[in-house]
Structure 1
Amino acid sequence: MINTQLLNPKSIVVVGGSDDVQKPGGKVLKNLIDGDFKGKLYVANPKMDQVQGIASFKNPKELPQVDLAILAIAAKYCPSTIQLLAEEKNTRAFIILSAGFSEENEEGAKLEKEIINIVNSVGGSLIGPNCIGVLNSNYNGVFTTPIPSLDPKGCDFISGSGATAVFIMESGVPKGLSFSSVYSVGNSAQMGVEEILKYLDESFDPKTSSKVKLLYIENIDKPEMLLKHAASLIRKGCKIAAVKSGGSEAGSRAASSHTGALASSDVAVDALFKKAGIVRCYGRDELATVASVFMHPELKGKNIAVITHAGGPAVMLTDALSNNGLDVPHIDGEKANSLLAKLYDGSSVANPIDFLATGTAEQLGDIIDACENDFEDIDAMAVIFGSPGLFPVYDVYDLLDEKMKVCRKPIYPILPSVVNVKDEIEHFLAKGRINFPDEVVFGNALSKVYNTPKPQSEKIDLPEMDMKTIRRVIDESENGYLAPEKIHMLLDSAGIDRSKEGIVDTLGAAKVLAKEIGYPLVMKVVGPIHKSDVGGVVLNVMNEETVISEFDRLMKIKDTYAVLMCSQHSGTEVFIGAKREDKFGHMVLCGLGGIFIEVLKDVQAALAPIANEEAVEMIHSLKSYGIIKGVRGQDPVNEDKFADAITRVAALMKVAPEIFEMDLNPLLGNKDAVVAVDARIRIEK
């Protein structure tokens, strides 16, 4: 738990403080001194009477009572030191910079557990071990640099890696990005990223709290906590971006279903972030750039004016925006001609608005005013202005700052000449502004922010279904794949449309069932995993003669012990699947079905439960959505029924969490119906 002693200590002791600022104990002490910590500062060092001008206690027992202890000593000495401080010095907050704990070996893990028990026994806060520390407006409790500019309106940054936290700050600080607080959680022995975010949510004050949160995560141990509090913060007006590393899977793994092959843990991370409204980033510079976008007014529409005095960067930015779903619309008409008359010959206002390398600050002001007041279709402006090094550009950047103060539309400054006009950019950043030095990185980041959905509804009503029958089927079933008749009961109880079918193992029974179902029908082998690969699927069976001949052939296929017969439906093949992912619950996936799922791997995923609007968004986000809408005279898939089936599969997962994997592949969709014609369900209790 986070307490006052951690956030705003009145006294701090650095255990292992040193004169050597190239060691963690020395550097953290220097940072505390340089940061002008207002409380009482102590050092515990068995060999020295004074360290960096601060009185040193050779024996920790001689220390006065102290709120926060920052430990930079060998791991083996940490438990006894913490016990002494907790029991005798009323210390209730601890930051352990030291390594050598659970990240190293089993013995270190035992030391870590011992420390947790001590801290928890007194209701204390523990950050680390194996971290760089904590940084906020009250104290510089980190042993690293840079110490970024601290501003209540800056970013709250939580990192699972100390070194990565440093590198991300190094990426952001030169751009002008400011920070409100930094938490390096290290091994997350007591508190990880999720717990810190929970605190930021529960303590959020719309008047004083930062509205930008950045996360670097290596392991999501508590996805439900992360989802709940990230979504809550975003609903309160915050913006959150995160890097989740470790998403690739080396090599391939055997999977018994299409869903199993497609639903990796990284897909679950994507689904969680989408549901929460978190902007997912994949690198340090991207995270810092997205954070910089967050620091500007929110983009309300997709039409961007690209204002430039250099053609190449404008073209590259236009490509980046256009390729990611934003627009750089053509500008023309009387007001455009009026603006053009104020610019030098050779300029263009068609968008990109190019006012040439000789363009002036006054002309830039005219362009911004026109985009703000005259061009109603424009939602934001990206201003590219560097310099070939011929003359200073202070006047341009001063004007840009003034326009950003008064314009209601967002203005994004792209100042690429970080060498030629270094002094002017520093002058601009000193005003509290942020620079986007690379137009393509900016364009991709802005698009990602704009395209990230808002958090899904906190309360999702499950569709009506026969829960009693569902539970009876699950409770009576053993682990493994369910028999077709049990699958039918589950689908029917969940309200998921399916084709009429039955399973037979004798020719006589096949003839009777064919008459009951009616022609045309489909015959499939029961037993082999991939039916089509072994020639185990027969379509367009129109008469009893074909039933007789195909039944005999199918029963001779290896591993076949019966034949499934079902009514044949027409339509586009689509797919819905579900998989239980450790800690995340169930993922539900949708896409085109049949062989297309293997070839295209075009799927969208969401975490159960799923609201109808989220299901619709999943369908619309498919690259193959054009096929689902209907193309070149082909019937469309009924999107309402497709979305309803997705929500019902998701609801089934909540009622029957014992379902490990489920495939509905394919469902046949046309303008009237979406019907499951093949299904597999695997139970793991």
Structure 2
Amino acid sequence: MDGSDGASVDGEDEGSGQASPDAGAADTVADASPLAGLFAPERVAVVGATEREGSVGRAVTANLQRSFDGDVVPVNPSAEAVLGLSAVDSVAEADADLAVVIVPPAAAVEVVEQAGEAGTDDVVVITAGFGEGGPEGVARERELVAVADEYDLNLVGPNCLGIISTPVGLNATFAPRNALPGDISFMSQSGAFVTAVLDWAAERDLGFREVVSLGNKAVLDESDFVAHWGADEGTDVVLGYLEGIDDGAGFIETAREVTAETPVVLVKSGRTEAGAHAAASHTGAIAGSEAAYEAGLDQAGVLRAESVQELFDSAAALAGQPVPESDGVAVVTNAGGPGVMATDAVGDSGLELASFTDATHEALSERLPDNANVYNPVDVIGDAPVERIADTMDIVLDDPNVGACVVITCPTATLSFDDFGDAVVAANESGVPLAACLMGGADAANANRRLAKAGVPTYFDPARAVRSLDALRRYREVREREYAAPTEFDVDRGHVRERLAEAARNDETRLGVEAMDLLDAYGIPTPAGEVVDSPSEAERVARDIVGDTADGTDDEAGVVMKLVSPDILHKSDIGGVKVGVPPDDVADAFEDLVSRARRYQPDATVLGVQVQELLDTEDGVETIVGTNRDPQFGPLVLFGLGGVFVEVLEDTTVRVAPVAEPEARRMLDDIDSAPLLRGARGREPVDEDAIVETIGRLSQLVTDFPAILELDVNPLVVTPEGATAVDIRLTIDPDEVAGIDPEAAGEAADGDQHRTTTDTADTTETDR
């Protein structure tokens, strides 16, 4: 565990604070939030306050004493006063709105209970030694949660750094530096990261409204704070560093509402390989934990940053600039090289260089020297005074094709950075998003501060400036995104219950083509066919499918035959699939398939052979639709290019189920091979509506039945006429299957429209 996340309260902790700027007056926290009182207390009790040098209790008390607008009450039965403040013996005597708990873990639960009994609604438990500390700590954290539930407490932590609220000067942390006032609210699952960010931000005059160290998230978690800041008119941007999200589905629901008005940007660490079930299916191998977070955050409307620098670069633009009306970017520079760097960065982003109108070109030609470049990027050349740059910005910002602008300046003898800053501030009145690059050091410091106060983000690197504008574009797309409720399809749940109960009775956890009837029950088209256990039955089914001519010869290309064995997953690897088998050859093919299985894996269970209709796929595309169950986000749905190369090409995209129609259509747009679906190289476009419906139906199936851990439909053959599931493979959770009531499994499903709620597995605390 990172030692600065929580307090072990044994006298070994660091954290005697340094003086920091007064938070000053600011807007009050939105009363609409149930957490409003947490960040706007009038009286704070510090339970464990002490004068001992180097202790967390001293650091928290000193930090509050320096900046808090209200009353600070030390709680220490062994002292009459702490740092000149009169002390009380217990939290019950403090009569506080907020209690900050810094006592040994064995006593912390009792203190929180006393706070609840005394009517204190908000508690911050800095003390460590809970869920992160082994079985005893886990049990102690359960007690803490039970007390918080009993008294309906807003509890932060345990094992955290504390909280900050600059509007009221609240610094209830043991960080060595306070936050400057601002309009960014920030949460972190690592307390050490908070201290680093506060120090880094102070050097850049970057301010915060509220800061939360989440700690173990025993009671309040990221969803609670996102909802709170979404209701807070003083918060312009929500930032966060997270190592995990316990309730992924709940977070998506909460964040989706907030991001419609307030941007949320997160750094998510802990990128992991796929989990223990990865090898069981193609979907499991591709849609691992990282893919779940990518999908979940995207569906929540959250912008994901890849680094701390990108997190705050994005925040600077989102807090100070409007979203662009179009993707066209103008680049104005007094140096060719940085202009090229910006152009390259535009090409790497979702933006594009704006195409200027003829009027813009004419105006630039009139105002700029002959050797200047009047095309985008506009190079005003190195001898440009600030007036030339200002004129150029006015012209390009007036162009209707320009949605945003990057203006770059390098130091020259003809240009003052301070004057340049004033010109950019004036240009900022245009309403077109701006980002500035002042490619200098100390000489640019004053101008950078001037621009920051005016809401114009500034950077040394042109690529960072472009990426910040791209964050604005991404957020515009979030606000424009269409959301809808998932479609409720009329399905036969009773048949699926019965089929899964049968699997439970037979101790089956993996099913293959013998389970195609599950797809039929949910309205997903499948080819005609049966699973048979003898050569004669195979021949009978083949003739039923293909038919005979009068002379006994076949009138079609034949049938597809597939080995059916739960122990042999990749049947094509051992020649376990035969395509285009005439009815006269089906009996021999049956014997050959079974023999191959015996040679490959003598102890394998062979259930028989599936004889299936051969589809005409000349105009079709082989795709995959699959599902996997993530511990945090629940069932995931994957779509992409299918067939035997799915894991090689990995041209797939993932969403958290249930997947509504607009989201399913976005999945089709996401894959690189989307042109194959839409008629590339003269082919007729496939039926995209059929794919969207299949995604929705499969999403409903795995949402209805948590017993299905993984499921692959591969290939799903899509033609201009529709989509057909050719093969299936699924893995079942034995515990969930065993819980299916066999009697309920036999009930009729007509009119059964009940949607089973997807359970999300409990997770343990992530070590920091």
Same fold? TM cut 0.5 = yes
Per the alignment, do residues 173 and 470 of structure 1 end up closer, same or farther by CA in structure 2, a change over 3 Å counting?
A: farther
Deviation at 1:466, TM superposition (A): 3.4
Number of residue equivalences: 671
Q: Which residue of 308, 312, 336 maps to 2:337?
A: 312
CA shift at 1:323, angstroms? 2.1
In the alignment, what sits opposite 1:563?
609
Residue pair 1:497, 1:675 contacting (<8 A) in 2 also:
yes
Separation (CA, whole Å) in 1 of partners of 2:96 and 2:425: 46
Distance 2:275 2:137 in 1: 31
Indicate if the aligned counterparts of 2:75 and 2:94 stay in contact, CA closer than 8 A: no
In structure 2, relative to structure 1, the CA distance for the partners of 1:646 and 1:348 (3 Å cut) is same
AA aligned to 2:433 is P
**Residues 559-584 of structure 1: CA deviation (Å, up to 9, x unaligned):** 44422222222122111001122242
User: 2:663 aligns to what?
Assistant: 614
Residue 492 of structure 2: aligned partner: 466
Does residue 102 (structure 1) correspond to residue 131 (structure 2)? The answer is yes
Find the partner of 2:122 among 93, 105, 121.
93
Q: 1:176·1:435 contact (CA, 8 Å) conserved in 2?
A: no
How far apart are 1:46 and its partner, in Å? 5.6
Superposed displacement of residue 291, structure 1? 1.6
**Structural mapping, 1:575-614, within 5 Å:** 575-614=624-663
CA contact (8 A) 1:198 1:225 kept: no
Counterpart for residue 400 of structure 1: 424
1:55 corresponds to which residue?
86
Distance apart, 1:107 and its partner CA = 3.0
Following superposition, the deviation at residue 27 of structure 1 comes to 2.9
Q: 1:310 to 1:180 in 2, by over 3 A?
A: same
Q: Tell me the equivalent position of 1:424.
A: 447
Q: 5 Å matches for 1:183-202?
A: 183-201=212-230
Q: 2:105 aligns with which of 53, 75, 100?
A: 75
1:141 paired residue number: 172
Identify the match of residue 530 of structure 1 among 570, 580, 587.
570
What do the CA deviations read for 1:297-349 (whole angstroms, capped 9, x no partner)? 01222111112222222222222221233211343634313213312342212
Displacement of 1:617 after TM fit? 0.8
For residue 570 of structure 2, give the secondary structure of its aligned residue in structure 1. Answer: coil
Distance 1:390 1:45 in 2: 64
CA contact (8 A) 2:239 2:315 kept: yes
Q: Distance in 2 between matches of 1:307 and 1:118?
A: 60
Unaligned segments of structure 2, at least 5 residues? 1-32, 547-555, 598-603, 737-768
Equivalent residue, structure 2, for 1:410: 433
**What do residues 48-97 of structure 1 show as CA deviations (whole Å, max 9, x unaligned)?**
5544433344x33795422222233333343344444444x543322222
Is residue 573–residue 669 contact of structure 1 (8 Å, CA) maintained in 2?
A: yes
Q: Does 1:489 align with 2:489?
A: no
Residue 511 of structure 1 aligns to a residue whose secondary structure is: helix
Whole-Å separation in 2 of the counterparts to 1:674 and 1:41: 68
1:27 corresponds to 2:65: no
1:38 maps to 2:84: no
How far residue 545 of structure 1 moved from its aligned partner, in angstroms, is 4.2
After superposition, the Cα gap between the structure-2 partners of 1:678 and 1:250, relative to the gap in structure 1 and judged at 3 Å, is: closer
CA distance in 2, matches of 1:61, 1:511: 83
Which residue identity does 2:564 align to in structure 1?
Answer: V
User: Which of 286, 308, 318 is the aligned partner of 1:284?
Assistant: 308
Q: C-alpha separation between the residues in 2 aligned to 1:253 and 1:651?
A: 21
- Asked whether 1:435 is paired with 2:463, we answer no
Residues 642-661 of structure 1 aligned to structure 2 (within 5 Å):
642-661=691-710
Q: Deviations over 1:262-298 (max 9, x none)?
A: 1212211111112111112232112112222212101
Write the distance in 1 (CA, Å) between the matches of 2:309 and 2:685. Answer: 42
Aligned to 2:755: none
Instruction: Give the Cα–Cα distance (whole angstroms) in 1 for the partners of residues 273 and 376 of structure 2.
Output: 43
| Partners of 2:51 and 2:365 in 1: CA distance | 64
Preserved CA contact (<8 Å) 2:384 2:415: no
Higher relative contact order (CA 8 A, sep 6+): 2
Change (3 A) 1:7 1:251: closer
Separation in 2 of the partners of 1:303 and 1:461?
36
Matches within 5 A, 1:636-647: 636-647=685-696
Matches within 5 A, 1:253-332: 255-295=279-319, 296-331=321-356
Matched, 1:112 2:136: no
Superposed displacement of residue 410, structure 1 = 1.1
SS of equivalent residue, structure 2 residue 64: helix
What letter corresponds to residue 62 of structure 2 in structure 1?
A: K
* Residue 381 (structure 2) pairs with residue 353 (structure 1): no
Instruction: Give the Cα–Cα distance (whole angstroms) in 1 for the partners of residues 465 and 490 of structure 2.
Output: 46
- Among the aligned pairs, what percent are the same residue? 29
Unpaired stretches in structure 1, ≥5 consecutive residues: none
- 1:507 pairs, out of 535, 551, 566, with 535
In 2, distance between residues paired with 1:551 and 1:116? 61
C-alpha offsets along residues 228-269 of structure 1, whole Å, 9 cap, x if unaligned? Answer: 11011123x111111222122289865121111112122111
Cα 1:613/1:555, change in 2 over 3 Å:
same
Q: Does 1:382 align with 2:406?
A: yes
Q: Deviations over 1:140-189 (max 9, x none)?
A: 222215433323xx122222211122334455555554322111121112
Measure, in 1, the Cα distance between the counterparts of 2:452 and 2:516: 64
Which residue is 1:178 aligned to?
A: 207
